[in-house]
């Protein structure tokens, strides 16, 4: 079955750029989206169709997807960005989620 692999955690200093990867076989051939989940809250969409931002999502969030890896990039990371991030793709009539990455803003 298809799998999406994310690093368990990523650390970043405030104001720096954070990159969270999501790896899967030929993932670049599929649309990938990203969700942010803060403690005690529901997930919220931050990137869809690889690189599109929903309205209300800050410009510092961007996405890319090529080859076997999709990447969520947060430029000028803020303390409020500390959260769990999940990638999602579709394969063989099934929604696949990555295992999630905890972004730690030090």
Partner 1 sequence: QVQLVQSGAEVKRPGASVKVSCKASGYTVTTYGISWVRQAPGQGLEWMGWINIYNGDTNYAQRLQGRVTMTTDTPTTTAYMELRRLRSDDTAVYYCARSATPADYFDPWGQGTLVTVSS
Site string for partner 1, 16-35 (x = CB under 8 A): ---------------x-x-x
Dist. CA 81–CA 55, nearest whole Å: 17
Dist. CA 31–CA 48, nearest whole Å: 8
Residue 78 Cβ vs partner 1, minimum distance, rounded to whole Å: 22
**52 phi and psi, to 5 degrees?**
-100, 140
Question: Whose Cβ is closer to partner 1: residue 82's or residue 100's?
Answer: 100
Dist. CA 73–CA 91, nearest whole Å: 24
Interacting positions 50-89 with partner 1 (CB under 8 A): 54, 86, 88
Tell whether residue 2 is a contact of partner 1 (CB under 8 A).
Answer: no
């Amino acid at each position: 079955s298809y799998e999406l692999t994310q690093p368990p955690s990523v650390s970043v200093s405030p104001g720096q750029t954070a990159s969270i990867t999501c790896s899967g076989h030929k993932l670049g051939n599929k649309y990938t989206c990203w969700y942010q989940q803060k403690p005690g809250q529901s997930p919220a969409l931050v990137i869809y169709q690889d690189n599109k931002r929903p309205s209300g999502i800050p410009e510092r969030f961007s996405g890319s997807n090529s080859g076997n890896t999709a990447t969520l990039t947060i430029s000028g990371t803020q303390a409020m960005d500390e959260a769990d991030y999940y990638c999602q793709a579709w394969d063989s009539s099934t929604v696949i989620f990555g295992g999630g990455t905890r972004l730690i803003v030090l």
